[in-house]
Chains A and B, each alone.
Chain A
Amino acid sequence: MTKKQRKTLIRIILAAVLTVVLHFLPVTGIPRFCLYLIPYFIIGYDILRKAVIGIKNGQMLDENFLMATATIGAFAIALADDSGDFDEAVAVMLFYQVGELFQGYAVGKSRRSIAELMDIRPDRAFILRGDSVEEVDPDEVETGSLIVVDPGEKVPIDGIVEDGISTVNTAALTGESLPRDICPGDEVISGSVNMTGRLTIRTTKPAGESTAAKIIELVEESGAKKSRSEQFITRFARIYTPAVCGSALALALLPPVVRLITGLSPEWHTWVYRALTFLVISCPCALVVSIPLSFFAGIGGASKKGILIKGANYLESLSKASVAVFDKTGTLTRGVFDVSDIHHGIMPNEALIRYAAYVESPSSHPISRSIQRAYGNAVDRSIITDIQEIGGHGICAKVDGVPVAAGNGKLMQKIGVEHHECHSPGTIVHMAVDGAYAGHIVISDCVKDTSAEAIRKLKAAGVKKTVMLTGDNEKTGRAVGDELGIDMVCADLLPADKVAKVEQLLSEKPEGTTLIFTGDGINDAPVLSRADIGIAMGGLGSDAAIEAADVVIMDDDPAKIAEGLRISRKCMGIVRANIVFAIGIKLLCLILGALGFANMWLAIFADVGVLILCVINAARALRA
């Protein structure tokens, strides 16, 4: 509790005790009223002060002003009736303050629990200067400096290990609790915890641009992108208060006037009292606070599991997903390819692999890397000339003056070489050496352990259609698709085709639902931005992925997509429950108040009660 909150609590207790004592005191009339003013001012002086300031600034519908009007009105009625029942006025103020206090406390508590989740950025770094180690603010560490991280400490800045062997735990970033071994030359990411040995790290980024800082910024900024539910509530709040106040005025004036005209007694007291009851319920607080609180908690809970959602709006659309589209390589499969076979070779396999390794060497594509691995020797780049990379087809180059082409069947057709179709699933690299077909290399990729489970869970969560897009051939795509239980496989796609395919799927999806696309975030940027929600996998350490996507999955576990969907559904359920519950109770109170069944006591109880329940409900989203 803050100092301010403790003070409010003391005021609440003091005013409550005083009111109870006064209730049983046998004083009547004006002296009784004066005595009641003591607890009233103790509990309400700040509200009254703010009400006066509000009037000065022309803020007539400010909740302080309304509370002040309601309570002063209650006093006036009690005085006019000479009932001596001043409890109500003080109680309304008292419970209003209880509600405010609780709201402040709960919001502060969720802020703190999110801050704890986000406690991944250490506030000190140990910089190595010569032989001595100096403690500094991470923001002051220049890129390329050497920093020392002892076991048990968090890595403050992204960098590369220069010295030391250890294991690091990235659980706070990815939700993955399996520690990772690292040795000199490996990258380490800020926010991971060094577990066993002392590490010396050369920093590669300033602290402000390191992973930990980016994640914190992302989660904090996520609230700025407001969801439609939140916008709805803001609009609702804007009309709610004036509407209730207008009705209160009508309720105070119209029925008595009508009664007067029809010759009945006007019963001013009754109707003014009912109108004041309206004012007590006029504050939209419970609604207004519970919605952003739910989203904040939902996003915080998801980030604990290594799922970063960049805005409340994305959380909302994620919950409506009906079509899930995946990129194959690196998303559903490991993206680690191995040469598994060579067919129809016209030369020794080693020689064919050597040509392939040379011609593919300029490319950083996973296929190229697997061929390099299979070759196993260094490539002498000086003998490669006339390199020509044809997107979606392959590469042509001269190796030692011999023209070599490596790529898919389309490339062979393009250069006019007849090739043999391959019947094995996998990526096929056809080779043409010196203008003649020289055989093909079969490269296959294996699916991730959790991919099948991810697809199953998505379907269980209500995703109607799963689609896999791949640049690979139909056969490979089919094989993977069947293995994972994917509904639709679109193969042989060039990068531009993927966008077109997603656009087509977008136009076919059911009304009011969304399409999610999951890719590795590096090659898929256009598709990621075209989909309703773009999810990038393996965001850890990749700025490009974090920039391009709406949702970032820090590690490369596809099961997290279903997890994210589940979290978003739960959060939206809470949001909807809060909206319906808060509006419902308020409407009920208004109706009961207008008909004279609810007095001010009930109104303020209902108002504060709804607030408390909504806030408690919102906090559930944190424990995703």
Chain B
Amino acid sequence: MKKSYKIEVDCANCANKMEDAAKKTAGVKDCTVNFMALKMSVEFEEGADAKAVMKDVLANCKKVEDDCEIFGI
């Protein structure tokens, strides 16, 4: 399952860090952050609960970049 979220982040390197953090989150198969479009596309593992996984993703992202935000979780 693939889903796309609108995000808020200030710098390109922070976007890369968010991508790394999201990729390492349990339940996430793959993730790309598009800094220019401010979009995060997440591919979830089979049977993962998107809502719960995204909460963890946001928490992990906040750890690497305090100022970031993910909308529509």
Binding site for B on A (CB under 8 A): 50, 53-54, 57-59, 62-63, 100, 103-104, 107, 110-111, 114, 220-221, 223-224, 226, 234, 237, 283-285, 288-289, 292-293, 295-296
Contacts and interface: CB of A to CB of B under 8 A. Distances in A.
Interface in B19-73: 32, 34-39, 41, 63-64, 66-67
B42 to A, nearest CB: 11
Contact of B13 (A104, A110, A285, A295): A285
Contacts of B41: 221, 224
A57 B64 contact: yes
Which has the most chain A C-beta neighbours within 10 Å: B13, B32, B38, B67?
A: B13
A289 B14 CA distance: 10
Contacts of B36: 107, 110-111, 114, 223, 292-293, 295-296
A104 B10 contact: yes
A285 B11 contact: yes
Nearest to B41: A224
A235 to B, nearest CB: 10
Contact of B11 (A100, A226, A234, A296): A100
B45 to A, nearest CB: 19
A223 B39 CA distance: 9
A223 B37 contact: yes
Q: What DSSP secondary structure best describes chain A's contact surface?
A: helix
Given A234-B16, A292-B35, 7 more contacts: A223-B34, A224-B32, A226-B32, A285-B11, A289-B11, A289-B12, A296-B37
Given A57-B64, A220-B39, A234-B16, A100 B10 contact: yes
B32 A283 contact: no
A223 B36 CA distance: 7
A237 B10 contact: no
A224 B12 contact: no
Nearest to B37: A220
Contacts of A59: 63-64
Given A100-B11, A104-B10, A220 B34 contact: yes
A128 B50 CA distance: 39
B11 A57 contact: no
B interface, how many residues as a size bin? 10 to 19
Nearest to A64: B66
Contact of A63 (B13, B34, B35, B38): B13
Given A57-B63, A100-B11, A285-B11, A224 B34 contact: yes
A283 B35 contact: no
A74 B38 CA distance: 36
A59 B64 CA distance: 7
A53 B66 contact: yes
A284 B13 CA distance: 8
A460 B14 CA distance: 41
Contacts of B12: 107, 285, 288-289, 292-293
Nearest first, the 6 closest Cβ-Cβ pairs linking A and B are A289-B12, A223-B34, A296-B36, A57-B63, A288-B12, A288-B13
A284 B12 CA distance: 10
Given A57-B63, A224-B34, A288 B16 contact: yes
A63 B11 CA distance: 11
Nearest to A217: B4
Contacts of A293: 12, 36
A234 B20 CA distance: 10
A50 B65 CA distance: 8
A237 B63 CA distance: 19
A283 B38 CA distance: 21
B22 to A, nearest CB: 13
Nearest to B63: A57
A293 B12 CA distance: 9
Nearest to A57: B63
Contacts of A226: 32
Contacts of A53: 66
A34 B11 CA distance: 32
B8 to A, nearest CB: 11
B48 to A, nearest CB: 20
A104 B12 CA distance: 10
Contacts of B32: 224, 226
A313 B39 CA distance: 18
Nearest to A226: B32
Nearest to B40: A224
A237 B11 CA distance: 13
B67 to A, nearest CB: 7
Contact of A50 (B16, B35, B63, B67): B67
